[in-house]
Structure 1
Amino acid sequence: MSISFSGLGSGMDYSSWVTQLTALKEQSMITPLETKKTTLQSQNSALSSLKTYYMTLSTNMQKISDSKYGASFDIFASSKVTMNNDNASNYIEVSASNSVPKMDFEIEVLELATSSNIKGNVKIEPEQMYVKSNTSLTQLEDFKAGTFILKMNDKDETEYSIDIEKSDTMQSLIDKINNIEDANIEASLDEDRNFLIKSLDDTMKIVSISGTSNFKEIAELKMTSNGFESDGPIKAGTKSAFNVRLVDSGLFSEGEFKINGETFKIDNTTTMAQLLNSINTNSNANVKALYNSVTGTFTLTSTETGANDIEIEEVSSNFVSTVGLDNKDNLILGKDAKFKINGEELTSSSNTVKAEDSGIYGLTLTLKKVTNDINDTSTNAITGPINVSISQDTEKIINAVKDIIDSINEVISQTDTQTKTGGTLAYDSSLISVRNSIRNMASAQYNNLSTYKTLNSIGISTGAIGASVSSDTTKLQFDEDTFLEALQNNTSEVQALLQNFVENLETHVKKVNDTTEGYFAVKTKSIDKQISTLNDTIDRKKLSLEAYEANLTTRFTNMDLMISQMKSQYIDAGLYTSSS
């Protein structure tokens, strides 16, 4: 609040007194509340930051806990594929689902699967296009914009000039000529699309056309008795075979035909491009169509590999017979893929070989290139069988365990930072309790197991035996070699131990992460409520402070007025003498 009064009566600076007294009042009434509010906001920020570490831990634990819900979620059953040749991936890809038996085998690709196709031939000639009134002049081959000058045969040899621009159409050009002031000249496009320019004055004649535009040459304008006329319709480029209306080509009739039971229609507007699009976007037809405008070859290729027939039926259009698709001699059936596994020859209608064709559960082979091909002159060409090994994907398991250990260490470290003396959440007993539970579980023993009962037995500990007492034992250490040895020795026991550990860990982590009853949700809600209450209190205190300031101002103003009146009375009584 801005306070202003003169203090003329007393000569004292009452304004600064009010400001200072109000500031002192604010320090006692509002500043402590603002400080408390800032502290609560800092706690909320710390909680939000800390929550992300606990949530990350929860997410990483799922990689282990989900493994009990079946093979598709079980990282302990995950498979890893290795092949004995770095170039093998150019010939074959092998993918194995979880729980595929661990094995080694040899594979050779003898022949790739191909698709059936049928070819016909019909040559559609490009269609010559001619100008219409709305044709853009830029469609004229090698058109050049510029001036267009008409010279008359009057005694003054009058010349009329217009500018032909790239934006002009035939109609706008005609309008420009017809609107030449006092020229009495008419331009038009007749029903045969001939371009005409003539004088409407019988005593006048157009004797020449010049200028920087080449329209005269492109339009092939020839002199007539009273003007100029194009030598036939003006050409405006050609329409490609793909864009010629099939019926207009004179080769095809309107009607329908079928491919693999799917109906396709040709009407008086259908072009080859539209027909191709119609066929290629119909997934039920199971073919892709291709037309080569140079050779006239029309090809239908099955979208599936293998010896699949392509059934074509002519219904009411002559398209099928005109192209030659009704001739079964033009049908080339596709071939099945051939390959060997451990010397046994097998076949598949697809280059993507499923278990039902390979005979190996959970295995998918993608055949890409023939092995031992005498025509394969590429660098590192494979000339024999490819050795494939399916093993447990230990790397995926190790990474999952590392993620959990890293998350636990981060949770403990961040919790310690926030709850230590001077920390934003100093001495928070709930957090400290959860932190201690998480840390202590790393040392727990699971007596329901026989071989591996503790995390330490599989390489997860608080440090190496004999480590210095000054070592940081709050952090878990991971001995990858010990873990891998245990995993290879007894996978099921290692899995059971980790699942027991994670299951117990989840119960404590849930105490903080639960979105309704968890520590973070409850604590944040409580702090938010405190901040809201503080805001209301601060608002009330500010109103009170404004009233206090206004009251001080009024009282000092009244006092100053009284002093001024007293001074005036003393002067009138001759009792007041101004000092020099």
Structure 2
Amino acid sequence: MSTISSTSTGTVTFAGLASGVDTDSIVDSLMEIESAPITTMEDKQTYLETKKDTYDEFNTLLESFYSAVTGLNNENDLNSFEVTNNGSEYFSISTTSLAEVGSYSVEIVSLAQQQKDVSANYVADTGTTSLSGTLQIGDQNLDYDSATLSGLVDQINEGTYGVTASMIDDGTGSGYRLMLTAETAGEELEIIGTGRIEMDTATDGHTVDGSLAHLVVDGVDYYSSSNTVTNAFKGSTITLMAVSKDGAVTLNINSDAQDVISTQLQEMVDAFNAMETFIDTIEASDSTLARSMISVQRSLRNYMTSSSFLSLGIQSDWETGELTFDTDIFDEAYDEDADAMKVALMGDDDNEGIMSRLDDYLTEQLNSTTGFLVTKTNSIDKQVSALDDKIDSMTTRLEKRRATLESQFAAMETLVSSLNSRGDYLTSFFESFNSTS
């Protein structure tokens, strides 16, 4: 069947008009065969991108494992404490790594509170009523004239009088009163107000007396202008909530190192097993892809099944390859010699701990310039780029090849058309000759 088509150069060809052959289809079929290598290279690029995604997932699992390791690579990581006390309604306590184990007697004598004083008289309107008078606050005097209560509050707060001013409505319907609150707990200020705002703390006392926080720890008195006290316990902060009603109570600070180590070891085992499961899944479908990850995992297994970890209760299942953590073995080893366990893990002046060696290996694998993921990614990116170059080169060659084939078939059509024309002429000539003979 004859067809009319347009080539990529914009030239119109009449494919097969002379020969009756569908030359466009022939060219398309030839080009499809010759472009097969491009399809193969594009498939390889897709596979390489899948490898990158797989390596990225594995690296995330490696980072999770490292996160568990970093929880045990420094002696300060073990300075964790459990706090118990039978006076929790009176105070709470938080510890840092510098806290000290011990039992303490604690009594809360008073809480820190700021002095507060309220004026005797009321002001009906805080924004329009004109006020005049003098306030003596400690050793400072404040004279005000034709001021509103709101303006007087602002004037006090913008100054340095050692108090914070506010307006209160006590609900009696009489209006508003001025309240002055000392900025520092425990500080006592005598306040005298004459004129429109009347106050006399020397005669009437304070609405609320200021006081320092006062607690007694093991018979020693401690004072603070805040209810958050940091100097009563080394490495600990105690927050006072109420005065002790029945005298001193007992506070216990105990080391939580055993639980910390146990928790981190379990996290390491879980993170390792997650890598094991991931690699098994990959290996089942692509053993070549899994090979490089298995190499890293094998190194980690050597660390995790060393004598140091075996003595802590970490064991390997020879059938599944997964690790298990036996807490009974761990607890027995810790109770027998906790210090030896800590040295095995984190080392001392004479020995490098297993966690330090494991940390060094993982730091190398996770290095942002030379680590596992960046090395694999860079290699894959180079391969993808090289394939891009080959695809571009082959695409250019195939475009030229198509143009050549189309030109050749066009020349054939021209020749066939010429031969057809000559044949038609001869046929017509002989027909005419025979009719006149």
Q: TM-score range by the shorter chain?
A: 0.7 to 0.9
- Give the Cα separation in 2 of the matches to 1:40 and 1:267: 83
Structure 2 letter corresponding to 1:113: A
- CA distance change for structure 1 residues 112 and 2 in 2, over 3 Å: closer, same or farther? farther
Aligned partner letter, 2:316: T
Following TM superposition, by how much is the alpha carbon of 1:15 offset from its aligned partner in structure 2, in angstroms? 1.6
Cα 1:123–1:354 shift into 2, 3 Å: closer
State the SS of the aligned residue for 2:118: strand
Question: Which structure dedicates a bigger proportion of its chain to helix?
Answer: 2
Which residue type is aligned with residue 404 of structure 1?
A: M
SS in 1 for 2:106: strand
Does residue 44 (structure 1) correspond to residue 52 (structure 2)? The answer is yes
State the SS of the aligned residue for 1:369. Answer: coil
Whether contact under 8 Å (2:112, 2:227) holds in the other structure is no
Confirm whether residue 462 of structure 1 aligns to residue 325 of structure 2. Answer: no
* Corresponding residue for residue 189 of structure 2: 310
Q: Paired residue for 2:211?
A: 335
Q: Which amino acid is 2:334 matched to?
A: L
Describe how 1:38-77 pairs up with structure 2 within 5 A: 38-65=46-73, 67-68=74-75, 74-77=76-79
Asked whether 1:367 is paired with 2:240, we answer: yes
- Cα drift, residue 486 of structure 1: 2.9
How far 1:384 moved relative to its partner? 6.9
1:244-259 superposed matches below 5 A: 244=128, 249-252=129-132
What is the rounded CA distance, in whole Å, between the counterparts of 1:370 and 1:277 in structure 2?
35
Q: In the alignment, does 2:33 pair up with 1:34?
A: no
Q: CA deviation at 1:514?
A: 0.9
| Residues 1:411 and 2:275 are matched in the alignment | yes
- Tell me which residue corresponds to 2:375: 522
SS of the equivalent of 1:390 reads strand
| Residue identity in the other structure for 1:519 | F
2: CA distance, partners of 1:75 / 1:494: 14
Deviation at 1:22, TM superposition (A): 0.9
Counterpart-to-counterpart distance in 2, 1:339 and 1:321: 42
* Structure 2 residue aligned with 1:120: 119
Out of 166, 176, 183, the residue aligned to residue 290 of structure 1 is 166
State the distance in 2 between where 1:21 and 1:327 align. 107
Checking the alignment, whether the CA contact within 8 Å between 2:112 and 2:212 is kept in structure 1 is yes
Q: Secondary structure at the match of 2:291?
A: coil
- Of 294, 297, 313, the residue aligned with 1:435 is 297
Secondary structure at the aligned position of 1:569 is classed as helix
Counterpart code for 2:302? N
Q: Which residue of 2 aligns with 1:352?
A: 227
Q: Is the 8 A contact 2:213 2:226 kept in 1?
A: yes
Residue 484 (structure 1) aligned to one of 326, 331, 337:
331
Match of 1:197 in 2: none
Partner of 1:156: none
Alignment of 1:108-507 (within 5 A): 108-126=107-125, 241=126, 243-244=127-128, 249-252=129-132, 272-273=149-150, 276=153, 287-293=163-169, 294-306=174-186, 308-310=187-189, 322-324=196-198, 328-329=202-203, 332=206, 333-341=209-217, 344=219, 346-350=221-225, 352=227, 354=229, 356=231, 358=232, 360-372=233-245, 386-393=249-256, 394-418=258-282, 422-423=286-287, 425-428=289-292, 431-445=293-307, 454-463=308-317, 471-472=319-320, 474-499=321-346, 500-507=353-360
User: CA deviation digits over 1:6-42, x for unaligned, max 9?
Assistant: 42212221121111111111103x1222122122211
Asked whether the 8 Å contact 2:132–2:195 carries over to 1, the reply is: no
Distance in 2 (alpha carbons) for counterparts of 1:538 and 1:525: 20
Are 1:264 and 1:278, in contact at CA under 8 Å, matched by a contact in 2? Answer: no
Determine the C-alpha separation between the residues in 2 that align with 1:576 and 1:480: 110
Q: CA RMSD in A?
A: 3.5
Question: Which string of whole-angstrom CA distances, capped at 9 and with x for unpartnered residues, describes residues 129-155 of structure 1?
Answer: xxxxxxxxxxxxxxxxxxxxxxxxxxx
1:302 Cα shift?
A: 2.1
DSSP-derived class of the 1:305 partner: coil
**2: CA distance between counterparts of 1:26 and 1:576?**
49
User: Paired residue for 1:511?
Assistant: 364
Residues in 2 aligned to 1:535 and 1:267: alpha-carbon distance in whole angstroms: 85
Sequence identity percentage: 25
Q: Distance in 2 between matches of 1:104 and 1:10?
A: 108
Aligned residues: 408
Please, which runs of 5 or more residues in structure 1 have no aligned partner? 69-73, 127-240, 314-318, 373-382, 446-453, 464-468
Q: Secondary structure at the match of 1:252?
A: strand
Instruction: Measure, in 2, the Cα distance between the counterparts of 1:56 and 1:278.
Output: 57
The answer to whether structure 1 residue 538 and structure 2 residue 400 are counterparts is: no
| Partners of 1:320 and 1:545 in 2: CA distance | 102
Deviations along 1:276-327, one digit per CA (max 9) or x if unpaired, are: 4565588x76533221254542111124322x123779xxxxx876423575
Work out whether residues 46 and 424 of structure 1, in 8 Å CA contact, stay in contact via their aligned partners in 2: no
In the alignment, which residue of structure 2 is the partner of 1:104?
103
**CA 83–40 in structure 1, closer or farther in 2 if over 3 Å, else same:** same
| Aligned equivalents of 1:58, 1:263: Cα separation in 2 | 64
TM value normalised by structure 1? 0.62
Q: Aligned partners of 2:155 and 2:403: how far apart in 1?
A: 84
Call closer, same or farther: CA 1:524–1:291 in 2, change over 3 Å.
same
1:13 aligns with one of 22, 31, 38: 22
Indicate if the aligned counterparts of 1:92 and 1:369 stay in contact, CA closer than 8 A.
yes
